[in-house]
Amino acid sequence: MVRVAGLKDQVQAGFNKPENKAGLTPKQQLNAIAKLNHTLVDKQYEGFNALQQALADEEISILEMDDLTIEERDTLEEYFDEQIFPILTPMAIDAYHPFPMLLNKSINLAVVLEDTYEVEFKSRKNAIVQVPALLDRYIQIGDTNRYILLEDIISHFLYKFFKGYRVHSVTEFRITRNADMTIHEEGARDLLKEIEKELRKRKWGAAVRLEVRKGKYDDTIIRFLLNVLEIHKDDLYIVDGPLDLTFLFRFYKDAQVDHENLIYQTLIPQRPQDIDSKESIFEAAEKRDIFLHHPYESFGPVVDLITEAAIDPEVMAIKQTLYRVSGHSPIIKGLKQAAENGKQVTVLVELKARFDEEQNVHWAKELEKAGCHVIYGMNFLKTHSKITLIVRKRKEKIERFVHLGTGNYNDSTADLYTDMGLVTTKRKFGIDATNFFNYLSGFTEKPDFNHLSMAPFDIRADFIRYVNEEINFHQLRGNGHIIAKMNSLTDKEIIRKFYEASQAGVKIDLIVRGICCLKPGIEGVSENIRVRSIVGRFLEHSRIYYFHSDGDEKIFLSSADLMTRNMAKRVELMFPIYEAPVKKRVIEVLLITLQDNIKAREQASDGTYHYVEAEPGEALIDSQMTLYDMAYDVLEDEE
C-alpha cells in the first residue's frame, strides 16, 4: 500500500532505472510483486476456507442468506429494517451523481439495476452502497454459534432502496488507497502540523488495488471500476471468501465463549527472575543489571520504571523515546504525571512511525499539555531506538537508571512480541544515554559513546568489525561462530561480509523471521551459513547478535535489524551485554531457538523454506513454549 504506490509513481513519472539490490526497474518490481502477491492472497484464502471447515466441524459457522430458514430470514429482515436501513445511503452513478469518493479499505456494494417499467429494452443503471464500518461486521443467528456477515444481509435486502427497479447484480468490492505521505521536512516549521495535513490527505489517496469477492461480482462492474479508479488489471484480486478478514480478530473472541478448547491456553507473563518479589525496580537495579525477556517475563517492571519515577521525590528528570505505544498507554500516563509533579520530562515521539502517525500526533499533544518537552523526531530520520534515562538525586549524588530494549514501549504488544531489555545503573551507560538524548534534543554532531553503537553513524561499521574479528579468530583457532537473530536481513554490505566469513570457515546461524536476502548453503559462497525462521504463537521481534570471540563471547542487543533502512535512515542503538549471568541467559535463548523442530523452518539455497523435522528419537521442541516453561519453573523453584 505504501511502497507499491511509490513504485507506481515512479512508473508514471517515466523513471526506469534499476533498483540497486534486485536490479529491477520499478515496472519490473511491480510485475514481480503482483505475481507473488496474487499467490499469497490465494494461500491466505485457502487458509481461511480450511479454518471455516474446521469451525463447522465444531458447529461454528459463517453462513450465507440461502443457508437460513424462512423464520431466520424474517428475523434478519426486521433487524435490517430497524438497525441497518436508516444508516445506509444508496449513491446513484450518472451525469448528476459522480462516482463517490470511497473510503480506504471500506467494503462497498456496486449494484446494477434494471428498470422494471421498460418492457422491450431493459436499461441499466449503477449505484453504490457503502457498508458502514461502525456497525458490527457480523450478526449472530439467535442463540446459536451461527453467524452472517453484514454485507451479505445488506446485499440481500438492497431491493428495498430502489423502487421501480430490479436488482440485476451485486458486486462486493474493496479498494486500497495510496497511504504514502509526502512530508517536506526541510521546509517544515512545525512537523506535527505538516503530518496532520498529510494525514487528512491520506484517506483519499489514489486507488492502488481492487478486491472483489468470488461468486459475487459482475464482469461489467469490474471493468467499470478498473476504468473509473484507474487501476491496472494486475491489481485486481478476486478472493475466495469475505473481503477484509480483520473481522476474525473479534470473531474468535465471541466464538471462544463456548469453545475454550479451540483457543490458546492463557499464558501469564512471569515476574522477571532478576527482580525479587519484595523489591521495587529501582531497588533491584541498584544491586544488579536487570535482564527482561518479554513476553515470558512481565512488561510490568518497564511500566513501573516510569510510574514509580513519576512519584519519587528524588527523581529529577525522565527522558524517553517512543515509537509505537498502546491506545491506553500506562507509559504515557506515567510521563504526564511526572511532568505534572514538576519533574523535567523529555520525550521523543516519532511522528513518522508508519501507520501510527495519527496516534503519535495525539500523544505528542497530550504530553505537551501535561508539561513535557516533546521532540517530534530527527530531520530525515526515524528514531526507532528504545531507551529511557531516569536521573535521580540521592544524598547529593546523581544516579542514572537506563533502560535499553529491542522492542517498543507498548504494553499491548509486549504480550505478543518476543523482546529483550536491560536496566542498568552502570555509570558509563548513563553517560552514553545522556549524550544520546542531548543529540536528540539539541544541535550537536555525532555523540561520543563508551558502550553504545548508533545508527546511522556506526552500527554497520561496528558489526562488520566484529565479523572481521571472528574471521581472524577462526583463522587462528578454528572456532569461529556467529549467531544473529533479527526480523529481516537486507543490507548488502553485511550480507557480503557474512559470505566472506562463511568462505573463511566461520559457522553462521541466522534466525530471521521475515525477509532474508542472503542465500545459504551455496558451495564456495555460503555453505557454512544456516538460516532459520520461527513463526509461532508469539511474534519473534528481538534482535540479538552473538560472536564467539575465541571463547570471550560478545553479545549485543539492538533495536535495529540488519537492513539498509535501519543502518542508514533510522536512529537506532546497539548495546553490549557484560554481566555473565545475563550473557548466559541470552545464549540459552539462542540455543533453544536453534533447537526448535516444531515451529522452525529452514531456508534452502534456492530461497524456499521447509519445516525442520525432528530426527528419529529426538525430543520435540517448541522454542517459545520451552522458554515460557523455563520462566515459570524458575519462579516455582524460588517459591
Pairing relationship of beta strands 236-239 and 207-213 according to DSSP bridges: parallel
**DSSP per-residue letters across 109-123:** EEEEEEETT-SS---
Q: What's the half-sphere exposure (Cβ side, CA atoms, 13 Å) at 306?
A: 26
CA distance 346 to 390: 10
Q: Which three cell numbers stand for residue 36?
A: 507473488
Owner of C-alpha cell 512471569: 270
Greatest Cα pair distance, the chain, in angstroms, is 97
Q: What's the half-sphere exposure (Cβ side, CA atoms, 13 Å) at 24?
A: 11
Let me know if 451 is a catalytic residue. no
Pairing relationship of beta strands 529-534 and 507-512 according to DSSP bridges: parallel
Cβ–Cβ under 8 Å, residues 183 and 195: yes
CA distance 279 to 497: 45
One-letter amino acid for residue 557 of the chain = L
CA distance 357 to 183: 12
CA distance 593 to 540: 10
Pairing relationship of beta strands 600-603 and 373-375 according to DSSP bridges: unpaired
The Cα-based distances of 581 to 44, 269, 588, 621 in angstroms read 43, 21, 11, 24
Helices (H), 316-458: 330-340, 357-370, 427-441
Q: Which three cell numbers stand for residue 502?
A: 562463511
CA distance 600 to 544: 17
Neighbouring C-beta atoms of residue 174, cutoff 10 Å: 22
CA distance 343 to 334: 11
Quote the DSSP letter at residue 81: I
Q: Which is the catalytic residue, given 293, 294, 384, 474?
A: 384
Which residues belong to the active site?
Answer: 384
